[in-house]
């Protein structure tokens, strides 16, 4: 038993649909059974074409979605990279400030020790 397809509306007649396919060329167009077979073949071809078109649209949409997701991941990675660079800069600035403070403390203590040594030397 062949599958039943919905009847074609009269406006769907196209040059491609009017041209004979390899299967429908075998059946004489004058017989009623031949017309039924041709219509069945055309319905089947139309259904396949519509399914192919749907898959093509779906494939295009999926491809577009994947491209958008990849672009979003790239933007996220760039933001994370900028955030990490800013964090490194802050740590570097903080480290430089600690080093400068340490150097000032060492210099101050050295100077205090020199002054204390001079006082001790003077008292002796």
Task: Quick: pLDDT tens for 74-111.
Answer: 999 999 999 999 999 999 999 999 999 999 999 999 99
Domain contains 45: yes
Domain contains 40: yes
Residue count (the chain): 124
| Number of domains composing the chain | 1
Domain contains 38: yes
Tell whether pTM > 0.85. Answer: no
Task: Show the domain range for 64.
Answer: 10-123
Sole residue written with tokens 């074409």: 49
Q: Output the six-digit token pair for 76.
A: 């996220």
CA–CA separation, 124 vs 113, rounded Å? 16
Domain contains 3: no
Domain contains 87: yes
Domain contains 1: no
Sole residue written with tokens 């397809």: 5
Domain contains 48: yes
Q: Report whether 41 contacts 23 (CB < 8 A).
A: yes
Domain contains 2: no
């Amino acid at each position: 038993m062949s599958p039943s397809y919905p009847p074609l509306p009269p406006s769907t007649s196209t040059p491609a649909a009017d041209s004979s396919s390899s299967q429908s060329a075998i059946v004489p167009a004058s017989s009623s059974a031949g017309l039924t077979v041709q219509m069945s073949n055309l319905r089947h071809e139309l259904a396949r074409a519509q399914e192919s078109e749907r898959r093509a649209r779906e494939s295009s949409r999926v491809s577009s979605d994947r491209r958008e997701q990849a672009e979003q991941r790239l933007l996220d990675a760039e933001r994370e990279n900028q955030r990490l660079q800013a964090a490194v800069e802050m740590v570097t600035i903080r480290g430089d400030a600690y080093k400068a403070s340490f150097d000032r403390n060492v210099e101050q203590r050295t100077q205090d020790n020199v002054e204390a040594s001079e006082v001790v030397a003077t008292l002796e």
